Amino acid sequence: MASGSGRVQGKVALVTGAASGLGAESARRLSREGATVILTDRAAEAGEALAEAIVGAGGKAAFFSHDVASEADWERVVAATLERFGRLDVLVNNAGIASSGLQLMTHSLEDWRRVLSVNLDGVFLGLRHGGPAIAQSGGGSVINISSIMGKVGMPGAAAYCASKGGVLMLTKAAALEWAQLKIRVNSIHPGFIDTPMVAGALHQAEDGNMMRDLIISRHALGRLGVSREIADGVVFLASDEASFMTGSELVIDGGYTAQ
């Protein structure tokens, strides 16, 4: 898939949640721009198929089964990456789960912990175990996928908002700690993107079509985003084009938070 201009040529990039949606497209785009891509996900069949497709198109890729909420899995995946490819330059903490319709008056601690364990703990564990590997490689870039819901609230999504707001501030703290190690840490804040996760949330809504129209109306550009638009941001932050960016919030939301 090396048909781009080589913006991340020679870099080794690990993308979590890479079997579908934003993670899958980010892995494809990074490969097209010259990166060796390690895809991780709990969905092994889809992840392996994408890795094979990238290799079949001329890229370099591997897939590892991975639960981002498991510290043992992080240790295994990072060790396997270093053993197979010798370095790690880019980490994309993309894996996440949605939550909606969970009212605070009746919200269970179990549901709260389930969302936070993936969306926030998973990013912490990525930093904790991926960071030393990137430092060992001489520096690089960490890209944490947050959300506009880490910047503005939404009723019924307290756990999701809290987790994504936590990612925003964790990103800034890591950026300050690691600047001297030549590791840049930035967050991306997508609006509503036409992905399986958003489609699943709409499917669960009482009136999915009405909800979709309402969500679209809140984006100034009058549409949902597409995965490529977020993946382009990932490639930018992974590349040397963003060499003076760290601790920053890259908002790609069609104008949602401008209103």
| Catalytic positions, written as ranges | 160
Which residues in the chain belong to E strands, given as ranges? 12-16, 36-41, 60-65, 90-93, 140-145, 183-190, 249-252
Please answer whether residues 22 and 235 qualify as being in contact, where contact means their C-beta atoms are separated by less than 8 angstroms: no
The tokens describing 147, both together, are: 């959300």
Residues 6+ apart with CB under 8 A from 224: 191, 192, 193, 194, 198, 212, 215, 216, 254
- Determine phi and psi for 39, rounding to 5 degrees: -100, 135
